[in-house]
């Protein structure tokens, strides 16, 4: 199988989807979702700014990890509103341009940033992605929000050096800004033997069955901030 001219095996292709392609098919397939409030409770306001991993690409409404997050918050009797401002196909640059208006509109107490994989898919410079994530984190913090960065990984076919630097980028941003960090959103999804069964038929986007695992990767770190 070839992805952008790169020959990868099925397992690695799933990891690519986990780390980059899965964040949105080519722009023609991008779903432009408006921010959707998924809870009417008052208290903490959790703003999720992401791409197709968080925008329920290919899933029925309510199956994605973000609405599952709302349910978990309700089950644990935590007063919080979850606002999903994710757009399939978005990049860190796109998120950076959208963030100021989102902060002004929703005044979040917590911001989850799940962006960067599409940057890798499009071959954008890592320095640019790192700068965008850093500026987004600092802008959210300046607005009074606690920030949780959600990391991605890319497979070895991107080159050992790029693979390592891409993974380290998220931890570097988190460390430099004192933000929270989820090292890899698709841990237990893209890196396990049963990975093919956890993805949609496009072999790129996680299926509904994988969404609880994704939430389980995010929840411990978010709960610390809540």
Q: What is the DSSP letter of 87?
A: -
Terminal Cα-to-Cα distance of the chain (whole angstroms): 42
Residue 51, φ and ψ in degrees, nearest 5:
-125, -145
Q: What is the DSSP letter of 199?
A: B
Residue 53 CA, distance from chain mean position: 6
Which residues are identified as catalytic?
52, 202, 205
CA–CA separation, 43 and 59 (whole Å): 28
For residue 186 the two structure tokens come to 């698709």
Residue 152, φ and ψ in degrees, nearest 5:
-130, 170
Residue 7, φ and ψ in degrees, nearest 5:
-85, 120
Count of H helices and E strands in the chain? 7, 8
The contacts of residue 55 (CB under 8 Å, 6+ apart) are 31, 33, 64, 84, 86, 87, 88
């Amino acid at each position: 199988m070839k992805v952008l001219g790169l020959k990868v095996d099925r397992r690695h292709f799933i990891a690519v989807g986990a780390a980059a392609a899965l964040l949105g098919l080519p722009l023609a397939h991008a779903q432009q979702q408006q921010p959707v409030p998924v809870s009417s409770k008052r208290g903490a306001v959790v703003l999720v700014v992401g791409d197709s991993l968080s925008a329920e690409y290919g899933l029925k409404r309510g199956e994605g990890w973000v609405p599952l997050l709302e349910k978990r918050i309700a089950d644990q009797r935590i007063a919080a509103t979850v606002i999903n401002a994710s757009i399939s196909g978005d990049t860190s640059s796109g998120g950076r341009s959208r963030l100021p208006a989102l902060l002004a509109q929703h005044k979040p107490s917590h911001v989850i940033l799940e962006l960067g994989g599409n940057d890798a898919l499009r071959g954008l410079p890592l320095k640019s992605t790192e700068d965008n994530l850093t500026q987004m984190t600092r802008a959210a913090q300046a607005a009074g929000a606690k920030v949780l960065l959600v990391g991605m990984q890319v497979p070895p076919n991107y080159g050992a050096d790029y693979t390592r630097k891409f993974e380290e980028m998220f931890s570097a941003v988190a460390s430099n800004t004192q933000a929270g960090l989820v090292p890899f959103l698709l841990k237990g999804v893209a890196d396990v033997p049963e990975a093919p069964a956890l993805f949609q038929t496009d072999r790129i986007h996680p299926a509904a069955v994988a969404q609880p695992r994704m939430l389980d990767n995010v929840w411990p770190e978010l709960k610390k901030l809540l």
